[in-house]
């Protein structure tokens, strides 16, 4: 196949990219020309949740905050593993040769997750009401 003829296959993709970039640039430039620009002190002030900002942005956070964030990521990863398993669950007997292999495999995985969750609950990481300081 000739190289220039092969490149014509990418023409629709190139046109789509050019139209998307042109449309975005057109919208931004139209809003710039049409919109009013009155920079007042209220518009230039930092705004977050309707509460005026206080203090330094480099404040210290408790370790509990980071522990909860890591737990959130851990349970998101759990869903990432469970979703593909659930999609192919009916086909697992064909792939593994056993009807219950996929079931017990996920049961063991969820057992490990539940043991970790039990540990987290026993350590009191999710207990925000108790003021224990840093863990």
Number of domains comprising the chain: 2
SS (H, E, C) 12-61: HHHHHHHHHHHHHHHHHHHHHHHCCCCCCHHHHCCCECCECCCCCCCCCC
CB atoms within 10 A of CB 121: 11
The stretch 86-106 carries a mean pLDDT of 87
Token duo for residue 8 = 């014509």
The reply to whether 21 falls in a domain is yes
The verdict on 31 and 72 lying in the same domain is no
Name which of 7-11, 44-48, 81-85, 89-93 the model is least confident about.
Answer: 44-48
pLDDT surpasses 70 at 135: no
Query: Nearest Cα to 74, choosing from 18, 119, 9?
Result: 119
Indicate if 70 and 23 belong to the same structural domain.
no
Closest CA to 33 of 41, 25, 43: 25
117 and 80 in one domain? Answer: yes
In this model, does residue 97 exceed pLDDT 80?
yes
Examine residue 75 and state whether it is found in any structural domain, yes or no: yes
Query: For the segment 31-43, what is each residue's pLDDT rounded down to a tens digit?
Result: 989 987 788 887 7
Task: Indicate whether 47 belongs to any domain.
Answer: no
CB neighbour class for 87 (10 Å; exposed up to 12, middle 13-18, buried from 19): exposed
Question: Given this model, what pLDDT does residue 29 score?
Answer: 94
| Residue 19: predicted pLDDT | 98
Domain residues for the domain of 106 are 63-123
At residue 91, does pLDDT exceed 60?
yes
| Residue 12 counted as domain residue | yes
């Amino acid at each position: 196949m000739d190289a220039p003829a092969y490149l014509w296959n990418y023409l629709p993709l190139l046109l789509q990219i050019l139209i998307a970039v042109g449309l975005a640039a057109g919208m931004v430039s139209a809003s710039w020309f049409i919109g009013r620009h009155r920079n007042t002190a209220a518009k230039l002030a930092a705004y977050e949740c309707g509460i005026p900002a206080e203090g330094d942005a480099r404040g210290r956070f408790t370790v509990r905050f980071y522990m909860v964030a890591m737990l959130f990521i851990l349970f998101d990863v759990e869903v990432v593993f469970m979703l593909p398993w659930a999609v192919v669950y009916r086909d697992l007997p064909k792939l593994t040769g056993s009807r219950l292999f996929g079931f017990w495999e996920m049961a063991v995985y969820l057992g490990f997750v539940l043991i970790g969750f039990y540990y987290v609950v026993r350590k009191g990481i999710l207990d925000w009401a108790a003021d224990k300081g840093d863990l």
